[in-house]
Chain A
Amino acid sequence: MKMKKSSLFLSTSILAAALAGCSTGGDSGSEDGTTTIEFWAAPNPTQQVYWEEMAEAFEKENEDIKVEVSPMKESPTSEAGIQTAIAGKSAPTMSENINRGFAAQLAESKALVPLNEIEGFEELLQNRSMEETIKTWKFADDNQYVMPIYSNPMLFGWRIDVLKEAGVEEVPKTYSEMLEAADKLKVKFPDKYIWAKPDLADPTAWKRWFDFFMLYDAASGGNNFIEGDQFVADDAAGVGVLQLLADLRERDVLLTKQATDPFESGLGVFTDIGPWTFSYWEEKFPEMVYGETFDLALPPVPDDVSTENVNTFADTKGIVVYASATEEERAAAMEFMNFVYSDPENDLTWLETTKLPPARDDLSSNEAFTAFFEENPELKPYADAIPNAIPSIDNAKYNELQTHIGSMAVNPVVEGTTSPEDGWEEMKRAIEEELNK
């Protein structure tokens, strides 16, 4: 009997311990009137340190709010980590590192708070000078679910040293100029390619941001691809992009085989480049010098499109507030954001530590950033392009839709198994079918 009791006690203790381990614990409110908000930073030490410093400074001025910063869980991806946290009722109050497509998925599931419904949002936009930038972030239901932190207008890098050797003096701005450069390159360097990018043959959804959407946004003048549940893409621009890929393939200047550092090694002379690349190059490829070995340019456009104010894809992420947050937590989250973004110095610190351009309208004109861009001239083109940068589509099915762009259009065209027109039509049919599901 004694054994029965002790085993029952032990079993109960183990179960209790196990369940306690599963508990998320913590109540945001406390008896002394302090509101605690949980902030998940992107899973990299640089951003985590930045947010910890911001939280510390904020708490000094706002003793009634405590901000707990922790890195976002990657299990196995940060999106999956957020999804499981929401499902397990352990979502934080707010988090950064959310792209527009994922935000659309979360918003459709009512997992996010529309920021425009929290008092202080308009003030935040004014204080940070981002009333223009935020317009392209509006979701199909007219709400703003994401407070964009940074906006990387993706640019193309050109190996000007190799191009010069091949007799190309100016960076190509139009499709014709690009094809002309391809012909010259092939004559001088038969083993080199214009674009060495294995991702072109890969249907993975996000990879389309860094090839198809850069070219499409430029060719279409920023025309939407999807609006709500409607496919509204500019057919001529889309087919034109695919035709460019087909033309490059025909000239044997498109390499889709896996290659190691193709741009840095000079195997390819054209590639998409984000600002994060430069820190990597400083360490691993010091020979990559802006203006000497490479130059940055907006995407090439069809011959009949203006080469001024060219649009490009914006790789951009921001902050969201989760629907599980209480009213007090939502208000505290907005106060925290207002604190961080009311001072351009905080954006400058962000820029200095991450090299990611803050999503501000005045990034290239505000004096707070002038010295930084003088010291880092390679980042200036990114700041200049922010107003013309188009964020990703805001449809909850963006993964499926972008996979169709790859598998039906981009991949078969670069493999030469379909024509640009047929590929576009197939893709369009698949996307419309997906949208009507």
Chain B
Amino acid sequence: MMKKRFNGTGWLFASPYLFYGVIFFIIPLIWSFYLALTDWNLIAPVYEFIAFDNFIEAVQNPGVQAAFFVTFKFMGAFVPMVIVSSLIVALVVHGLPRFKGLFLIGFFLPYLASGVVSSLIVKGLLSYNSSINVVLRESFGLDIDWLNSPLSALLVVAAIIAWKFTGYYALILTAGFEGINKEIYEAAAIDGVSAAQRFFRITLPLLYPALFTTLILSIGVSFGIFTEVYQLTGGGPNYATNTWQMEIFNQAFTNLNAGYASAVAIIASIVTFVAIIMIRKILEAWGKRNGWV
């Protein structure tokens, strides 16, 4: 039997990340669990251990309940938006005879744009007296309250984030398209397959790994929305855009309820974890049922 040997070099190279992980993830995580069981606001010298009261209060809170449902509503709007748009961009770029990289960089740029700046620009574009709204009102009689109506506010935020991520996901999907052997299409053409058959029987199965990645990534994004909502709607109207991050921010930094905010953060983490696992299983089952994996 081989004796396990201490590998100093391995530990040495791993140590920066280990220290980083311990200091910035493990300790805060344990600390957050502890905090969630107290009524501490981080600054008071005296606080009480209140067991699971914060969790009980959180699940009854309309803001937290809204955050739960709003996340899935965002997902329902954002994921199809970003997947369809990134597929279109990837298809267009894939079909280009040259300068593919240049175009991909162009589409990728919004990903680097500040959420604050893009939100402020959108706020200006959708303001009551913007050119868009003046034309809509005067030519079509449409007076849309973009950011004060629950549905349009949610769609606007989803659209901004979709715009931001389209180029990034298109990059992944383009790589997926590039990996498909052209001879398969040639063989299919000889066999006389239709365009729809080509897409559903060849492209989609072979693109599935890249599509799976972008779907999981985009679902993950739905659970972490903050900047755009903070800038555009503040979680309103009537909690219609109140995300987990907004709720945690408001409780921790506006109301100074650090213990309660930790409880909300833990609930959010559990919901996120469970939801992503479930969605991942569904996607895998979908792939398996069609024989793509």
Contact = CB atoms under 8 A, between A and B. Distances in A.
Query: Are A and B subunits of one complex?
Result: yes
Interface in A264-297: 265, 267
Interface in A1-15: 3-4, 6-8, 10-11, 14-15
A203 B237 CA distance: 8
Contact of A258 (B8, B147, B256): B147
Given A18-B23, A198-B148, A203-B236, A77 B253 contact: yes
Contacts of A79: 253-254
Contacts of B148: 198, 201, 256-258
Contact of A259 (B16, B129, B253): B129
A232 B139 CA distance: 51
B114 interface: no
Interface in A385-412: 396-397, 399-400, 407, 411
Given A18-B23, A257-B148, A399-B255, A11 B43 contact: no
A14 B255 contact: no
Nearest to A1: B8
Contacts, number: 107
A86 B16 CA distance: 28
The A interface is mostly helix, strand or loop, or mixed, namely helix
Contact of B43 (A14, A87, A205, A411): A87
How would you classify the secondary structure of chain B's contact residues: helix, strand, loop or mixed?
loop
Interface string B1-28: 0000010110110011001000100000
Interface string A194-213: 00101001111100000000
Interface in B136-151: 145-148
A205 B256 CA distance: 14
B126 interface: yes
Contacts of B255: 397, 399-400
Interface in A206-258: 255-258
A10 B145 contact: no
A83 B42 contact: yes
Contacts of B15: 7, 10-11, 14
Interface residues of B, number: 37
Contact of B129 (A6, A256, A260, A411): A260
Contacts of A399: 254-255
B19 A18 contact: yes
A127 to B, nearest CB: 32
Interface residues of A, number: 46
A109 interface: yes
Interface string A46-88: 0000000000000000000000000000001101100110110
B12 A7 contact: yes
A106 interface: yes
B129 A262 contact: yes
A18 B19 CA distance: 9
A205 B254 contact: yes
Given A79-B253, A105-B256, A3 B129 contact: no
B19 A4 contact: no
B266 to A, nearest CB: 19
A204 B239 CA distance: 11
B208 interface: no
B237 A11 contact: no
A14 B127 contact: no
A150 B238 CA distance: 34
A257 B124 contact: no
B128 A258 contact: yes
Interface of B: 6, 8-9, 11-12, 15-16, 19, 23, 41-46, 123-124, 126-130, 145-148, 234, 236-238, 249, 252-256, 258
Interface of A: 3-4, 6-8, 10-11, 14-15, 18, 76-77, 79-80, 83-84, 86-87, 105-106, 108-111, 196, 198, 201-205, 255-260, 262, 265, 267, 396-397, 399-400, 407, 411
In order of increasing CB-CB distance, the 10 nearest A-B pairs are A109-B44, A87-B42, A7-B12, A259-B128, A80-B253, A257-B128, A260-B127, A7-B8, A86-B43, A3-B8
Given A11-B12, A84-B42, A262-B129, 6 more contacts: A8-B8, A83-B256, A105-B41, A111-B43, A198-B148, A267-B129
